[in-house]
Amino acid sequence: MSPPPELVSKNRFLGFLIWQTFTSTTIYFLTKLFLLAFFTTPKFSPSQLCFSLLKFFTFTFSNLLFSSSLSILSSPQSLPYASPLQLAAGLVRFAFVSSPAEPEFRRRALVSARFVVFVVVAGISGALSVVCLCGFDGFQLIARLGFRGFVFGVLYGLFDVYKKRWVLEFPIIQRPLFYSFKMGLPLAIKRALKLSNVAYLFLSVLQVFLPEQFKSGGTMGQFITEQIILYIGSFSVVFCWELSHHLHQVLHTKRFLFAPPKGSAAAETNPSEPLLAALEESIPDSLPQYLAYLDLCMVCENNVDTWRRAAFFEETGETYKRVVAACLRPLEQLASNLSEGLEGCFVDKAHQLSNQLQSPTDSQLDSRHCEPLNNFQKYAWCARAVASLTAWSHEEDRFGVAQLTGSNAAVTSTLISSLLAVEAFMGKKTSLQPQHLMGPAAIKWNTPNTGRRDVVTTKKQGGPQHAKAYAMADVLRTSVYSIVSTFHDEMFTSNKAGLFEKDWVIKSKPLFGTYELLVQKLHHFLDFRAN
């Protein structure tokens, strides 16, 4: 029996801590035995042995602390956060106006608080790790090493937050765990060298402005030895953290099979229930839900688990409707959010020139649209899964549930409506083109000014949000093409009979655009003229 979705995250978190402990322990002993042994004099007294064990357990605890904070901070998508100015304004408003904070502000403030906690924990972990790993004799140097380690950890935490390395990036190709870990080792070593060099140079400059008790003393030889040990220790700590990052990505983004064992009683009766439960009952945008969408996409696209895909087309059609609804729900949310954000961007022709003369920073469109596209990975899985499932229904749907339930029309309408919304966000015109103005070879003649209102955006095409929108439009366009290519003959026949719109486009008002615009866009796909 497949475990519940919430247990999947717990098991992966525990497995991550176990593997992280193993790697940090290995790095600790290798550093002590093969590197620092050349610069320190080992002592084998009972007190020294106890002190060494204490340092080892403290080092292990500090790395577990860092790994735990990384797991708490991590998310499958980029989360919106409040800037320092927004936090200050919210605190002032709460202190003097006594008005309750808005839910959106509380959510963003909570994310910012998680960032602060992660940076502070990284500083504490760096202080403990450097003190334990460098192994200087005498307690008078602990304060100096702890301070350097704390600054070192804070810099690393700020780098992680700035680069958004806490966002889980699911690989395009799923590989075995050992192979994925081996592939990440060279990159972890290279990044550890760069970060340790930058941090060491920064701390060397900072040391000039520190009081005398935080500066290195002794002879020149002792100073050089101390700096070498400090550099080796800082590199080892960063290498541990980089491996923790890599292990966290590999273990948490590996595909999980939400299915009972093949051949069991559950596999014969209801093999789709664990997957549907993970899709419908998991916390929105949580790791179990992302893993469920990844599993669904791979089942729909590949021929590995054909028995699971065949179970979607059971006779009643209830399972197929639930699977399609689970895929269309995020796409409908994407189209709805983009449509709401673009509502304020409809202007008359007379005002287009003044709007175009504004700089991209003057427009408020980016802030409206940053959030919907943060779920790009889930949207792409949904579009690919539902398009592949619709295409496979042409051969595997023995009972005709895809057509009888009206899912084909809902799928094509949602995909095209989402595509139009994304194209409008990218700055493309999504207006209805009169058929009598379409020339041969799909040449669009200039249209006269009919007083129509268009969407005007001032987005930079080189921005990160435009890149996500371009990728999302490519996924949606490919998904529609896969359906049209599979059902081309049926669509062509129904088009001759005048039933094309009835079979493939829903009559209700779409989330973006109009019914006529969706029909025209689908005709373009059928004629292979969509771009």
The string of pLDDT tens digits covering residues 441-455 is: 444 444 333 333 444
Q: Are residues 202 and 281 in the same domain?
A: no
The string of pLDDT tens digits covering residues 145-177 is: 888 889 999 999 999 999 999 999 898 788 888
pLDDT at 350: 38
434: left (phi over 0), alpha (psi -120 to 50) or beta: beta
The string of pLDDT tens digits covering residues 31-49 is: 888 766 666 655 556 777 7
Q: Where does 334-389 show beta strands of DSSP type E?
A: 346-347
Q: Where does 325-405 show beta strands of DSSP type E?
A: 346-347
Give the three-state DSSP class for 167: strand
d(CA 425, CA 472): 11
**pTM of the entire predicted model:** 0.85
Give the CA radius of gyration of the chain: 29
pLDDT at 214: 59
User: Of 212, 231, 253, at which residue does a domain stop?
Assistant: 253
In a domain, 458, yes or no: no
Q: Which of 181, 183, 199, 184 is nearest to 236 (CA)?
A: 199
**Taking all residues of the chain, what is their mean pLDDT, rounded to a whole number?**
82
Structure tokens at 23: 């790697």
Q: Are residues 420 and 504 in the same domain?
A: yes
d(CA 508, CA 375): 26
Structure tokens at 41: 């004099």
Structure tokens at 203: 């701390």
Cβ–Cβ under 8 Å, residues 330 and 437: no
Q: What are phi and psi of 12, to 5 degrees?
A: -70, -35
389 pLDDT higher than 80? yes
The string of pLDDT tens digits covering residues 503-517 is: 899 888 888 888 899
Q: Which of 301, 345, 178, 306 is nearest to 246 (CA)?
A: 178
pLDDT at 437: 45
Q: Are residues 270 and 216 in the same domain?
A: no
Q: Are residues 65 and 158 in the same domain?
A: yes
**Residues 251-262: what's their mean pLDDT?**
90
The string of pLDDT tens digits covering residues 400-459 is: 888 888 899 999 999 999 999 999 888 877 666 665 444 444 444 443 333 334 444 444
Q: What is the dihedral of CA 149, 150, 156, 160, to 10 degrees?
A: 150
Q: How confident is the model at residue 248 (pLDDT cuts 50, 70, 90)?
A: very high
Q: Are residues 216 and 278 in the same domain?
A: no
pLDDT at 88: 80
User: Of 194, 227, 253, at which residue does a domain stop?
Assistant: 253
In a domain, 169, yes or no: yes
Q: Are residues 181 and 309 in the same domain?
A: no
How would you label 247-263 residue by residue, b for 16+ Cβ within 10 Å and e otherwise?
bbbbbbbbebbbbbeee
Residue 167, strand partner residues: 75
CB burial class (10 A; 0-12, 13-18, 19+) of residue 284? exposed
For residue 60, give every residue at least 6 positions away whose Cβ sits within 8 Å of its Cβ, in sequence order, or none: 21, 24, 25, 28
Q: Are residues 163 and 289 in the same domain?
A: no
pLDDT at 531: 60
Cβ–Cβ under 8 Å, residues 355 and 456: yes
For residue 231, give every residue at least 6 positions away whose Cβ sits within 8 Å of its Cβ, in sequence order, or none: 196, 200
d(CA 524, CA 232): 62
d(CA 47, CA 457): 71
Domain limits for position 47: 5-253
CB half-sphere exposure, 34, CA atoms < 13 A: 7
Q: Are residues 273 and 233 in the same domain?
A: no
- Residue 63 identity (one-letter amino acid): N
d(CA 280, CA 274): 10
Q: Are residues 393 and 283 in the same domain?
A: yes
The string of pLDDT tens digits covering residues 107-149 is: 888 999 999 999 999 999 999 998 888 866 555 567 778 888 8
353 pLDDT higher than 60? no
Q: Which of 289, 390, 335, 222 is nearest to 77 (CA)?
A: 289
Q: Report CA 144 to chain centroid distance, whole Å.
A: 39
User: Of 253, 281, 313, at which residue does a domain stop?
Assistant: 253
Structure tokens at 400: 């005709």
Give me the residue label for tokens 């399609």.
Answer: 324
In a domain, 368, yes or no: no
In a domain, 404, yes or no: yes
Q: What are phi and psi of 530, to 5 degrees?
A: -70, 140
Q: How confident is the model at residue 351 (pLDDT cuts 50, 70, 90)?
A: very low
d(CA 98, CA 90): 10
The string of pLDDT tens digits covering residues 58-105 is: 999 999 999 999 999 999 988 888 888 888 877 777 777 666 667 778
Question: H/E element holding 12?
Answer: helix 5-30
Q: Are residues 212 and 280 in the same domain?
A: no
In a domain, 364, yes or no: no
108: left (phi over 0), alpha (psi -120 to 50) or beta: alpha
In a domain, 469, yes or no: yes
In the chain, the number of structural domains is 2
Q: Are residues 246 and 327 in the same domain?
A: no
In a domain, 178, yes or no: yes
Q: Are residues 75 and 124 in the same domain?
A: yes
pLDDT at 463: 60
Give me the residue label for tokens 């020294």.
Answer: 48
- Residue 166 identity (one-letter amino acid): W
Cβ–Cβ under 8 Å, residues 130 and 31: no
In a domain, 441, yes or no: no
